[in-house]
Structure 1
Amino acid sequence: MIGYYVHHHGLGHRNRATQIARELDVPVTGFSSLERPEGWPGDWVQLPPDVTSEPVDPTANGVLHWAPLGHPGYRERMGIMAGHLRRSLDLMVTDTSAEVTLLARLMGVPTVVMAMRGDRTDRTHRAAYDAATALIAPWSRQTAEPYWPEAWNRKTTFTGAISRFDAPGGARPEPAAPRPARDAADTASPDRSVLVVWGRGGTVVGEDDVDAARAATPGWSWTVRTPDAPSPDLWREITEATVVVSHGGNNAVAELSAAGAHAVVVAQPRPHEEQAYTVAALDRAGICVGLQEWPEPTAWPALLDRAQLLGGSRWDAWRHGDGSQRAARALRDMVSGGAA
């Protein structure tokens, strides 16, 4: 039995976990404060919340990220997982929590950490990554973080991007061919469109920023999709848009890679600079236009032209097309006693 802890912040962790769990042929139990996702193939344990506006020593004097003293919800959720770890779990996957990783390891259960971009050199992350039996990185070895110690690299499965649109188990009807670069001189085309795909995890970009960018780019039509204004067919809209503008969240970028999109990816503030590191990796690989902050309106015409010129063929450096299958295979191998 595999346990799978899913962090409650945003929806990306749960979406990725579901993609991987659906590829497993061994029982899997999910643990999260979030509700059970559609398509989850096994049991789902909804944990009590541990959020509080007045936490007492939540970092244990800098040793941990979140372990508030005297919080009944936190104590109950850790106790629930400890009970499952004692009785039935052969492997614990965390996406992501240093505390759950260390809890599982302290109880003698092998642990797999779903790695994240960003600066993970703080004391708590180092302890979790060092203690983990294995790491799964949802990016390619080619675009790996250059600062990682070799000890982490040696125990990592680099799956490439994990997208819900990946074949064969994904939702898209058929693989998308790489999209070629488009001549930026083609400015008279009447069908030049921008699709803005924005998430729920927190943003410093508002409607006024998008409106200003729209006003600065006459001849381009802009459509904005968010969790509160979802797309009726996101795959179709991504593949049909001339340029897609997105935040730098892992799942959003994975979906751009699956579509081979001409893209502008803008980092949003996140703990440990997760999106900033993602955008930096995209920029290093020359995959798309990567920005550390939302630009001034006057910059948008040139940015959209540059995204067209870069095209979408470089996404092959980011994804293999079967990221969830690679992750599931690594987990099955660990449960059966093989190497990750």
Structure 2
Amino acid sequence: MIGYYVHHQGLGHLTRLQAVAEHLRSPVTGLSSLPAPASWDGPWMQLERDDALAPEQAASADATAHSVLHWVPRHDEGLAGRAAAVSAWIRRARPSLVVVDVSVEVALLSRLCGVPVVVLAMPGVRTDRTHSLAYDVADALLAPWPDGAHTDGWPEAWRAKLWTVGGLSRFDGRRPAGAAERLAPAGRTDVDAPRRVLLLWGGGGHGTSAVQVAAARAATPGWEWVERGPGSPSPDLWSELATADVVVTHGGQNAVAEVAAARRPAVVVAQPRPFDEQVATARAVDRLGAAVGVDTWPAAADQWPGLLDRALHRGGDGWRRWSTGHGAATAAAHLDALADRDVRARPATRTAS
């Protein structure tokens, strides 16, 4: 049995679980304060929320335990309830390992219960005291990005247990659009029709205003912009990716992985996140030649024609390094292998004499 903890913020952690679980041989139980997805057919433990405190209350409750952890407010009933539930589940289910995506506290709790832990490695500056705790105790670090993307400044001990599997996408294994489809996308019968931008937002929020998007549209009269996000979900994201001339996406790992799976020319625009997570991703895709990456939405709308042209010129073939097309299957194989090793290495269960 593998336990898989999913953080409630945004939608990417949940999507990643589903992509990996599809390939696991080992049975898997989801652990999250989110409800189980409608398509989930395995065990699921919905945990209590621990984020009900107002900011001023959190400050007085020493939520970071003197800056050692991220979120452990004193006397929070939800925190106590979820910790007790995870511990009780571990005692009852005796999992081979727990995958944590992401929570330093859940990683430490699981390891304190004697269970091997696999932590999802995150972009950005993660060498701080708190992240170091989780990365140090982990048996493995699962990185949903390629070699060389985010490990500058990492200690050798982390590199030694790193699994770089590339982007994890629900579209792994699908065939990217061919040249004919790119030249004549579905619904476009006139070769002189405007080129198409697909603008993607995620569930974690964004700092770009509707006014800024409107200004970008106005500055690119030869382009049609289609905007998708939680408030305007795509009826068929794979099709819309395949028929976009350029994708403009936030720098969340799942969105980037799905653009990479489709091999589309792209501009990755970082949105504000802790630890500069999306800035790190935007810089990495640009440095590795996969896409055009920028640290923030351009202040001047007249930069957009040049950005879109740069993305077209760069093309989408550079995404091959970022997305192998089987990242989720590779991640699952690593997890199954670690789970198998744990089963073989377990001491015999004590029996009463």
TM-score under structure 1 length normalisation: 0.93
Which residue in 2 is equivalent to 1:87?
92
Which residue in 1 is equivalent to 2:282?
279
Q: What secondary structure does 1:24 align onto?
A: coil
2:91 is matched by which residue type in structure 1?
R
Which residue in 1 is equivalent to 2:13?
13
Cα deviation 1:294-329 (Å, max 9, x = unaligned): 012110111111110000010011111111111111
What is the Cα deviation at residue 189 of structure 1?
Answer: 4.0
Cα deviation 1:85-112 (Å, max 9, x = unaligned): 1221221110000001011111111000
The answer as to whether partners of 1:178 and 1:312 remain within 8 angstroms in 2 is: no
CA gap 1:178/1:290 in 2 versus in 1, 3 angstroms: farther
| Aligned pair partner of 1:119 in 112, 125, 128 | 125
1:60 is matched by which residue type in structure 2?
A
Q: What secondary structure does 1:300 align onto?
A: helix
1:337 aligns with 2:337: no
CA gap 1:144/1:118 in 2 versus in 1, 3 angstroms: closer
Which residue in 2 is equivalent to 1:316?
320
Q: What secondary structure does 2:341 align onto?
A: coil
| Aligned pair partner of 1:301 in 305, 320, 332 | 305
What is the Cα deviation at residue 223 of structure 1?
Answer: 0.9
The answer as to whether partners of 1:22 and 1:39 remain within 8 angstroms in 2 is: no
Question: How do residues 31-180 of structure 1 correspond to structure 2 at under 5 angstroms?
Answer: 31-51=31-51, 52-53=53-54, 54-55=57-58, 56-88=61-93, 89-167=95-173, 174-176=174-176
What is the Cα deviation at residue 118 of structure 1?
Answer: 0.8
CA gap 1:179/1:78 in 2 versus in 1, 3 angstroms: farther
| Aligned pair partner of 2:198 in 195, 199, 203 | 195
Q: How far apart in 1 are the matches of 2:248 and 2:179?
A: 16
1:264 aligns with 2:267: yes
CA gap 1:241/1:196 in 2 versus in 1, 3 angstroms: same
What is the Cα deviation at residue 231 of structure 1?
Answer: 1.0
What is the Cα deviation at residue 39 of structure 1?
Answer: 2.8
State the number of aligned residues. 328
Q: What secondary structure does 2:30 align onto?
A: strand
Cα deviation 1:50-105 (Å, max 9, x = unaligned): 01212211110011001111000110001000111122122111000000101111
| Aligned pair partner of 1:208 in 211, 216, 221 | 211
Runs of 4+ aligned residues of structure 1 deviating over 6 Å after TM superposition are 178-182
1:337 is matched by which residue type in structure 2?
R
Which residue in 2 is equivalent to 1:27?
27
1:286 is matched by which residue type in structure 2?
G
Rg bigger for which structure? 2
1:328 aligns with 2:329: no
What is the Cα deviation at residue 40 of structure 1?
Answer: 2.4
Q: How far apart in 2 are the matches of 1:46 and 1:107?
A: 19
Q: What secondary structure does 1:326 align onto?
A: helix
Q: How far apart in 2 are the matches of 1:239 and 1:7?
A: 30
1:299 is matched by which residue type in structure 2?
Q
| Structure 1 residues not aligned, in runs of 5+ | 168-173, 183-187
TM-score under structure 2 length normalisation: 0.90
Q: How far apart in 2 are the matches of 1:247 and 1:2?
A: 31
1:275 is matched by which residue type in structure 2?
Q
1:255 aligns with 2:258: yes
